[in-house]
Structure 1
């Protein structure tokens, strides 16, 4: 599959509005493209147009899911979450980065507020973010070039490095070519076997259940972030155990019970098929590289490609 090459600037701080600036984390960073029209022309599997303005668009790193530094007024285990964020900024070339003490996700100072880089993207996600593989510096190809993305070039991306270092879980969507998925799955398995990074403390996975009595306890754990993002609203609504979690998931097949393709079984399923939850215990029963997630569907009549 070909990807569109987008030259531009990665931006982590607004000099004129530092306290209202971006909030980079381990898998998302603000990107200001040289040619915004190229972003407007990308594929939109969920029908959502790019959420772009004069300051740029959020670039969501393809294939990985880092621990949440912030999500709906919660967070995951912060040592691992901040390690992924700091590594991403370092890989892109940022130095001297500090964060506000009272706004710990916003950059207070940095040697560079923005830095040249590029994204290889094949689409916009359901939240209007640019999905792609991110790289520092300027490439040889011109802006807007169609690039056939192979394993060697993927290995040069920040995405692949974060997975190799065990600083992010895999999260494979159906928009990712199968050859790249297989290649990156191997990196994830190798990092897990080496107990690198977050894998030393990973829980709620096929190796063991996590006991989650409440929302505060959840925030101290290392687990697949997409599972965490399902647990937060369930617990925040007042649930005291997981008795009704399966039914809660199944009630919304777009925002909760994502459709999946289960690679080991060769069949379609949903999120509830890979989660076991009872009492205060919850567990992902299949490693996240062993299934493919379907993007949110486009509403009826909404185009997925621009004219």
Structure 2
């Protein structure tokens, strides 16, 4: 199958503002200089805007540990905060240029210094929740990239973004979708492999149990307090346990019902459902392929 040419991304210049939001390690609020550019973001869905014209950016190609996930339950849960769930958020806000952040008990930002910081996004589309999926940059647009115009994004552009920075430090996991240009995906996969090999003390790779030993699931606190696993698998397991309880006997069938389509590196055929890349033994679940080998297919 021939590789399609890389799709251009829409460059939008503006400011980041986090007061009255709940940022995490892969989402942040962004206000374009011209909010009308939101209408030019491609995809079936439109980016949802607040009263100021700002929207939420979901950072492309990465997935941070969950700091507030609701899913099917009545209350929010999170991955182990003391094992690094806040680290990606702290690095992201610092990298963008926020010097200090005050939060309330729900981790909603009540004050920041400064109130806004300049930056830009390179948008590839909008997700089903009305968030803009994008690469996140700070300061001025890269040379040759024009505000409100679509440009082919190179690996040099990628290396100037928070997405790459967080992946390089090992503070997030990669999560690749088929619309991400192949050159960027390959670069981020190699960045992931280096971060995993380094296993910096504050990285997810220093604590992750998803791919080697596996996660032993006894109850919900196995996921929320004791073990670090891939956030995508965390979300699926949390919803499953809330609906059916901790025995994982039927979890492969539950994943099959999700019907997520993905491809594996080096294979042209696609698979449906993550049950194809997990194994379960005595209620211990392990993924059998590195996450950077998986590319989720977008419709």
Gaps of 5+ in 2: 1-6, 71-75
Q: Distance in 2 between matches of 1:31 and 1:48?
A: 18
Preserved CA contact (<8 Å) 2:95 2:162: yes
**1:280-291 to 2 correspondences below 5 Å:** 280-291=283-294
Q: Which residue is 2:73 aligned to?
A: none
**1:94-133 to 2 correspondences below 5 Å:** 94-100=98-104, 102-103=105-106, 105-133=107-135
Q: Which residue is 2:77 aligned to?
A: 74
Match of 1:235 among 235, 241, 249: 241
Task: Determine whether 1:250 maps to 2:256.
Answer: yes
Q: Distance in 2 between matches of 1:182 and 1:31?
A: 27
Task: Determine whether 1:48 maps to 2:45.
Answer: yes
Preserved CA contact (<8 Å) 1:31 1:58: yes
Structure 1 vs Structure 2 CA RMSD: 1.4
Relative to the length of structure 2, the TM-score reads 0.90
Q: How many aligned residue pairs are there?
A: 280
Q: 1:251: Cα distance to partner?
A: 2.0
135-144 vs 35-44, greater mean Cα deviation? 135-144
For residues 80-112 of structure 1, the C-alpha deviation after alignment (integer angstroms, 9 at most, x for no partner) is: 121100000011100111222x22x21133212
Q: 1:116: Cα distance to partner?
A: 1.2
Relative to structure 1, is the Cα distance of residues 223 and 43 closer, same or farther in structure 2, using a 3 angstrom cutoff?
A: same
Q: Distance in 2 between matches of 1:25 and 1:195?
A: 22
Task: Determine whether 1:217 maps to 2:222.
Answer: yes
For residues 217-236 of structure 1, the C-alpha deviation after alignment (integer angstroms, 9 at most, x for no partner) is: 11122111111111111011
181-190 vs 244-253, greater mean Cα deviation? 244-253
Match of 2:278 among 275, 285, 288: 275
Query: SS at the partner of 1:110?
Result: strand
Query: SS at the partner of 1:70?
Result: coil
Match of 2:167 among 160, 163, 167: 163
Q: 1:265: Cα distance to partner?
A: 3.5
